[in-house]
Structures are given as C-alpha cells and as structure tokens.
Amino acid sequence: MGTDITLREAHSADHPLLLSLAREAYREVLSLQFSGWDESVHGVRFAEKLATLKFLVAELDGEPVAAISTTLHDDHLRVNEILVSPTHQNQGIGSRLLRREIELAQ
C-alpha cells in the first residue's frame, strides 16, 4: 500500500468519481447476481443515493480509491455504502474509513 492516505469530505464534483467507484466495487458481485452493472438500473439508483448521502473519500497518494457513507442514529451508526476500488481492496483502506466514521460519531 502507498504511504500517503488522506481522508476528506466528498463534494458534488466527486459524484462521477463515486459512481465510478461503485461500478468498480460492485462489478463482480453484480455479475454473479445479475447480468452485471446496468447503468439504467444500478447507475440511477446510486445517483439517487448521491443526492441524499454524505461521503468521506480516501485518497492514496492523491488518487481517490475509496469512499464511505454512514448515518448516525441514536443508538447506532449505519453504514450506507463502503466503496473500495478492487485494486486497493484488502489493504486496510476501508477499515481506516470505517474507524474514522466511528471516531466522528463518538
């Protein structure tokens, strides 16, 4: 894994990036359950989520590679989405995002 991971809030300009991360992250799962990523179905649904959810983006050496969205409730923190580029999975980036969201919730 690279050395410089930066976490930042996502902005509306990041929507194409988040949609791309979702496509990459869900590609394998959707190909097993359905016929793959269908932009008219999955893309539209994810775009609707982007309109209402806040995301935290992880950048590795300046490149966005992961994102997380959570909602804080009275008694729990709900993970809405966690997206990690397949080439950056199993490197602790998703865990780092989740730990940061937990810290912010406390």
Say whether domain 5-105 belongs to CATH 3.40.630.30: yes
Task: Select the more confidently predicted residue: 81 or 29.
Answer: 81
pLDDT tens profile 38-94: 666 666 777 788 788 899 999 999 999 999 999 999 999 999 999 999 999 999 999
What is the chain written as a DSSP string?
--S-EEEEE--GGGHHHHHHHHHHHHHHHHHHHSSS--IIIIIHHHHHHHHH---EEEEETTEEEEEEEEEE-SS-EEEEEEEE-GGGTTSSHHHHHHHHHHHHH-
Q: How do the domains of the chain map onto residue ranges?
A: 5-105
pLDDT at 1 > cutoff 60: no
pLDDT tens profile 36-50: 666 666 667 777 887
